[in-house]
């Protein structure tokens, strides 16, 4: 996961790609979420307070990333920067689309065994990452094949619109809401059992 985030952000910087920036930033926040899960299991007391605090931090990071990606995308659409085709970015997105459904399934299995709302939400985040990788991949592939420069920032804005608003509600600082999100979020209804099934 740390490799995914680092490579995505590096490729985004080299290619000036808003879509990769959105995906890589989301991956970095997912890495933070995984660290929070580990922290949650190591905390011997006040687990609910740990989950609330972690959820608020993740929510703030998501909003910051969404704003930055939106500004970068609009600047790209206005011609202030031009995203370049990137084979490295395409490769990392293909890998994420292949691995994330399996990772989401394993996290859900562990969340069922431990009863952790944070781990269940982290599983939903991994499932979402599979969708995000496909959206970003579409933008990068269209730009690489047909040289349609606006495809990349449009994909980034789609990621912001479709994912960050929904996931930010997940991290409102209420563990019960986290658990409810992980049970009823459309991601878990639309993905096959390999992603969100128990």
Domain interval for residue 13: 2-196
**Rg, C-alpha atoms of the chain:** 17
For residues 20 and 25, what is the distance between their CA atoms, to the nearest angstrom?
8
| pLDDT at residue 93, rounded to an integer | 97
Tokens 């980034």 sit on residue? 156
Spans of the chain, pLDDT less than 50: 173, 175, 178-198
Q: Which residues contact 181 (CB under 8 A, 6 or more apart)?
A: 121, 124, 169, 170
Phi, psi of 153 (to 5 degrees): -65, -30
Confidence (pLDDT) at 197:
42
DSSP letter for each residue of the chain: -HHHHHHHHHHHHHHT-HHHHHHHHHHHHHHHHHHHHHHHHH--S-HHHHHHHHHHHHHHHHHHHHHHHHHHHHHHHTTSS-PPP-HHHHHHHHHHHHHHHHHHHHHHHHHHHHT-HHHHHHHHHHHHHHHHHHHHHHHHHHHHHH--TTHHHHHHHHHIIIIIHHHHHHTSS-HHHHHHHHHH-HHHHHS-HHHH--
pLDDT at 192: 40
pLDDT at residue 172, as a whole number:
53
User: What per-residue confidence (pLDDT) applies to 115?
Assistant: 82
Predicted pLDDT at 185? 44
Neighbouring residues of 180: CB distance < 8 A, sequence distance ≥ 6: none
pTM of the predicted model as reported, rounded to 2 decimal places: 0.81
Q: Give residue 198's pLDDT.
A: 40
pLDDT tens-digit map of 92-109: 999 999 999 999 999 899
What's the total number of domains in the chain? Answer: 1
């Amino acid at each position: 996961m740390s490799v995914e985030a680092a490579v995505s952000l590096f490729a985004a910087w080299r290619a000036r790609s808003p879509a990769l920036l959105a995906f890589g930033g989301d991956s970095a926040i997912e890495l933070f979420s995984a660290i929070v899960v580990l922290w949650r299991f190591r905390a011997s007391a006040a687990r609910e307070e740990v989950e609330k605090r972690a959820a608020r931090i993740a929510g703030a990071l998501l909003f910051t990333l969404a704003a930055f990606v939106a500004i970068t995308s609009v600047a790209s659409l206005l011609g202030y920067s031009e995203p370049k085709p990137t084979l490295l970015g395409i490769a990392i997105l293909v890998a994420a689309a292949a691995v994330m459904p399996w990772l989401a399934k394993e996290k859900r299995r562990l969340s069922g065994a431990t009863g952790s709302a944070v781990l269940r939400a982290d599983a939903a985040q991994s499932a979402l990452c599979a969708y995000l990788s496909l959206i970003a991949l579409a933008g990068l592939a269209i730009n690489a094949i047909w040289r349609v420069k606006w495809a990349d920032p449009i994909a980034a804005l789609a990621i912001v619109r479709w994912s960050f608003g929904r996931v930010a509600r997940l991290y409102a600082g209420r563990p019960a809401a986290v658990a409810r999100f992980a049970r009823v979020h459309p991601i878990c209804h639309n993905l096959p059992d390999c992603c969100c099934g128990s």
